[in-house]
Every structure is written in C-alpha cells, then in structure tokens.
Amino acid sequence: MLTIKILGSGCPNCKKVEAITRQIISDMGMTAEVIKVTNYPDMMKYPITSTPGLVVNEKLVCAGRVPSPAEVTTWLTTAELEAL
C-alpha cells in the first residue's frame, strides 16, 4: 500500500500530476492512497521551491515540473519493491 501526496494549491500542473499518477495507479492495479496537500505550511515540510510536488511514501521524488508517465511508473514500482 503506497501513500502518495500531491503538493500544490490547485494550479493546472498539480492537476496534471494528479491525473497522471491516478492513471498509472489504476493501469498497474496498485493499491494506493492519494492525498492532496493544498496548504503552504504543510507543503513547506518538504524541500520544495515550486509546486507541483510529488511525494511517495514520505519521500519527495519530483518538484517544480510535471513528470512523464514513465518516470512516475518507475517511482511507484520502486516504492512498491522497497516496501516489500
């Protein structure tokens, strides 16, 4: 079970990251909880300088850009393997 956090106040890029992530979760048949973090104090707990940020199991994997679906797939599968 993965815990995924999307850091972002609701800008277009944040929505894009969320859409890509959800798509891959359903494509891969993973069980994951997707949490949207929208207030700045909570976001600033992670070392980001611009949104959107993507956090997988409390680890920041990407910030300030929209990752490609291939990248997201790699991060999610790596996290799954680490959790085993």
Q: Find how far residue 72's CA is from the centre of its chain.
A: 8
| Nearer CB in complex with another protein: 26/69 | 69
Residue 64 contacts another protein per CB under 8 A: yes
> Residue type for 58, please?
E
Q: How many residues bind another protein (CB under 8 A)?
A: 22
Residue 29 contacts another protein per CB under 8 A: no
The CB-of-12 to another protein minimum distance in angstroms stands at 5
Residue 20 contacts another protein per CB under 8 A: yes
Q: CA-CA distance, 49 to 43, in Å (whole number)? A: 10
Task: With beta carbons less than 8 A apart as the criterion, state whether 54 and 61 touch.
Answer: yes
